[in-house]
Amino acid sequence: MSGRAVLLVARQELRIRLRTGRWRWLLAAWVVVVGVFTLLTDLALRASNDTIYEGATEPPSIGPALFTVLVLVVFGLIMVVSPALTAQSVNGDRERGTLAVLQVTRLRPAEIAVGKLLAGWGVGVGALLLTLPFAVWPVVYGGVGAWRIPVVYLVMIVLLGVVCAVSQALSSLVVRGVTSTMLAYATVFALCVGTLILYGLMGAAFTQERTVVLDEGDGGTFTYVERSPSENIWWVLAPNPFVVLIDASPTAPERPRDQGDVAYDQDPLKDLHGAIRSTRVGPGVDRRDAPAVWPYGLAANLLLGVGSVLVTIRRLRAPVAALPRGVRIA
């Protein structure tokens, strides 16, 4: 696979994409929507941020809360948009008769597959990077930490690429563009919502009643009943893109606090992060020691993405011995 050939295909594909449709208007609308959303969330958080803990002289920062809401909403929108980016990249070209003439050039199937993927992915990454200024906004309030932005954006870009790769593989497997687009959306839905439903159902189906007795240190004990066997089924949640994103985001550094003069910040991202990790430990274990979920989830997603690219390459190979039903080469 030559880098030059991949870039040739990507450039060509990108040029065609940018000349069809009103990309400038779409991107402008996207920036306006995210901007207005950030502004309104900011105002809403300010309005409700009047609780100052006793002894605190400085109100908590709304930065972490704003950052959490913004990142989750932007990522949600990206997950909604991304299947469409490559869902017709192979079968659409087949329909227009432009794929076969590409296949008979000296471009290799891998160069065509990766080049086309880069073009679709690139459009998504562009849309994502346009939201960066709004992500910097809450950081200015403090309490978010400098590492969150690069890590969160990097993970979003990788997961976006996985969705693009899966959609592209579907477009190479399915003859009709409408069908492959629907399947791409179904896949994203299964990853984002299906895993949650499955986790909930499995937790309920395999309920184990375990009585946990905690020593409170002062001689007294605290007793509760744990029902979910979460430490056995946490892996069902792991491939969820939102779980990967939240769990991978670094926790904000503790703000220097002298005798409680600063109130605790509301940081939903940190809370969610803790909730996700706590699924890995059984009852009675200190949840602060719970190991990370994201390496497994990210690995599963990368496997899915790489597998999808390999499927696409395979489907672009010619000459072919067997034609699936309804496929017309040219």
Binding site for other proteins (CB under 8 A): 5, 8-9, 12, 15-16, 19-20, 96-98, 100-107, 318-321, 323, 329-330
Supply the minimum distance, in Å, between the C-beta of residue 161 and other proteins: 24
DSSP 8-state symbol, 104: T
Supply the minimum distance, in Å, between the C-beta of residue 61 and other proteins: 48
Nearer to other proteins, 41 or 103 (CB): 103
**Dist CA 66 CA 72 (whole Å):** 10
Supply the minimum distance, in Å, between the C-beta of residue 7 and other proteins: 10
Supply the minimum distance, in Å, between the C-beta of residue 88 and other proteins: 15
Where do runs of H (alpha helix) occur along 130-250? Answer: 132-141, 148-173, 177-189, 195-205, 230-237, 241-248
Nearer to other proteins, 61 or 103 (CB): 103
**In this structure, are residues 10 and 116 in contact, taking their beta carbons and an 8 Å threshold?**
yes
For 321, the token pair is: 């011995």
**In this structure, are residues 79 and 188 in contact, taking their beta carbons and an 8 Å threshold?**
yes
Nearer to other proteins, 22 or 288 (CB): 22
What residue has token string 């996985």? 162
Q: Shortest CA distance to 58 belongs to which of 256, 205, 328? A: 256
First to last CA, the chain: 25
Nearer to other proteins, 122 or 138 (CB): 122
**In this structure, are residues 266 and 65 in contact, taking their beta carbons and an 8 Å threshold?**
yes
Nearer to other proteins, 257 or 328 (CB): 328
Nearer to other proteins, 93 or 247 (CB): 93
Supply the minimum distance, in Å, between the C-beta of residue 288 and other proteins: 56
Q: Shortest CA distance to 207 belongs to which of 192, 226, 194, 220? A: 226
**Dist CA 152 CA 245 (whole Å):** 7
Supply the minimum distance, in Å, between the C-beta of residue 93 and other proteins: 9
Q: Decide: helix, strand or coil at residue 302.
A: helix
